[in-house]
Each structure stands twice: as structure tokens, then as C-alpha cells.
Structure 1
């Protein structure tokens, strides 16, 4: 069991309609992350929700995306239903919302990339972050690695994350363990 302290924050990465069932870039079983995430919300004093927040002309959009080369179907366009959080995800009104990949010519997988998230967390006295969300093999992974580089202790909540390529889940978890992240499940967070 991992006891949550006042110096801990929960970062929920990119749980948005376009990544969930019926979205333009739906991740397998993405909707299954919502229950474990919701179950942890009341445990934390500090909550951060990141969102992919692309302009309509973002360079990564392609009508014939290759995925591996960084081209993707049109997704999470600012102020569209696909960019919104799913209605089942309980986003508290006092949560910090971090928008990323907001410039047309820059990609940002990590919630720390091009944002003031690290400074915001430090200003709140946060020393450890718990991370969950979508997609484990892209934005969640990069958020975990950047949090470690920024000097935070990191706990990945694996039942609160899903991968674009589910067959990559175990190798990503192992990579994050080797980098210094602790791996747990939501029922071990109290």
C-alpha cells in the first residue's frame, strides 16, 4: 500500500474523447482507465489533468497517418468535442488543466513539454507524482520520464493507463521501472 501525502500529486494524462471508444484515435480499452482514476481523485490534494490541445492545422495530422513517423489522424482539436474530457471522468473544478501541443509546428507528448507544470508542482510543494492516463506508450511514458528528469519521485498507476499498442505494455512498464518509476495499481493507493 502506498500512502498518499500532502506533497503528492496525481497527473491524469490526456483522457479525452478522441482517445476513447468512438474517438478518432481510439486506444484499445481506453475507457477502462476512468474507474481507477476516479477512485483515486479524493485521495490527492493536488490534481493535474493534461490534454492534447491541437490547433486545427497541427503538423502531425495526416489523412493517411503512419503513426510510427509521428503522423496521426486528426484528433483533440481545440474547442471540439473530441478534445473534451469524457463525461464519466470526474474532473474537479479546482484541478489544474495543462494544455500541450498547442502550437501548429511542435509536438508535445509529455505534460511537462512546453508547459509550466514542473514549476507549478514545485510551487505547491509537490515532490512525488502519481501518473495515469493515455497513452501509456506515448504521452504517459514521456510524462513519467520528464517527471523523473525534473527530480520528482514517480509512481505509475498501471490499471489507470492503456497503450496504443497493447503488446508494448510490458516493455514500456519495464523501461519506466529501469528509469526509476515505481509501478502500482489504484487499489494500492490510499
Structure 2
């Protein structure tokens, strides 16, 4: 589903912004760098401004792994060690303009034996959203083909309307085209793709 013509999408009560894993280890100099991952930051800052201006909920997720996490290559996983709890690599991107007083932080992947790509996996995110009357999620961040993909799919499964912020996502692309395939899958499952200029002022 796409927005027809030049129709604008208006933010309203019941909307929430989910910023997925914009952490140092996923930026170009990080241990698990997402190509052009830093490019999501300026776009996300503009979405953050729009949500702050309307007093709408903002959820920021972060990988928060123990040093022996199962996703790490030394322990049989596919990835180099990244986003170890309390490390500089796990910190949010410095240029990300987070309103500390008004965000909810969701930690994921905190157990050594359990991986968690989705912000809903092993967290209280669903309960938090429902407690605030949220029915529509605006999702951006890193990376398109893993944590964004899984968060969007789980959000749709849980019954939320989901809006995919196409100008605020970037892909790992372990295989060429993974990001494009992930975007197509999210849209096929019901996510609405938008860019910032499609938001009503």
C-alpha cells in the first residue's frame, strides 16, 4: 500500500516513532558497520523533531549484548562482537538528537543464549505501546534487512499499522540486494513506505 498521488500523511494521537539501533558499532567506523549507516541520522532527527513537536511517543531501541552473546562469531554466531552492554560501541550515535526526557529506551539481545533482531523480541515494547494507546508505528534506523525488517514484521503481526521511513534506513547487504528485498517484503506485508516530505506540516 502506498499513499495515493500527493496525499500527505498526518501525525496524530496513537502514533509512535521507533528508532532502531542507531548505535556506534553500526556506523561506518564501527565493528559491524552498515554501509552509509550514518546517513540515517539527519533524516531521523527531522522525524524526531516532528514527533517531539506533537508530543507523541518516541521509542529508541539498542542492542545491549553480553560479551559472550550467541550472535558473536567466537560463540558460533554470524557477526563480529558488537554493541556490548556499556561499551562505546553500544552508545547511540552522537549526532542523533534524542530528547532524553521524553523517550523510552528498549534494550534487546541482553541474554547470552538468545538473539533478538526485533524490538518486540523478549522486550516489554508491546505492553508499553498499548499502555500509551499506540496503534501506528513509524519505524526507521539500522539495519533495513535485519532489525528494521524484524521489528516491522512483528509490529504488523501484533496488529499495529506500520509506516516505513524509507529515507531513514540503510542495509547491511551481506548479499547484494538484501536491503531492497527486505523493503519489498515489508511493503508486501502491509507497511506503508514514506519519506519526510510526505508528512503533513
> TM-score under structure 1 normalisation?
0.94
Q: Residue in 2 aligned with 1:168?
A: 178
Correspondent of 2:26 among 19, 23, 32: 19
Correspondent of 1:51 among 46, 50, 62: 62
Q: Residue in 1 aligned with 2:106?
A: 98
Which structure 1 residue ranges, 4+ long, deviate > 3 Å from structure 2? none
CA contact (8 A) 2:172 2:179 kept: no
What is the CA distance between 1:64 and its match in structure 2?
9.8
What is the CA distance between 1:8 and its match in structure 2?
0.2
> TM-score under structure 2 normalisation?
0.89
Mapped partners of 2:109, 2:74: distance in 1? 19
Q: Residue in 2 aligned with 1:137?
A: 145
Give a deviation string over 1:109-130, Cα, whole Å, max 9, x none: 0000000101100110110000
Q: Which runs of 5+ in 1 are unaligned?
A: none
Give a deviation string over 1:3-26, Cα, whole Å, max 9, x none: 111210000000000000210000
Question: Are 1:157 and 2:168 counterparts?
Answer: no
Q: How does 1:66-81 map to 2 (within 5 A)?
A: 70-81=77-88
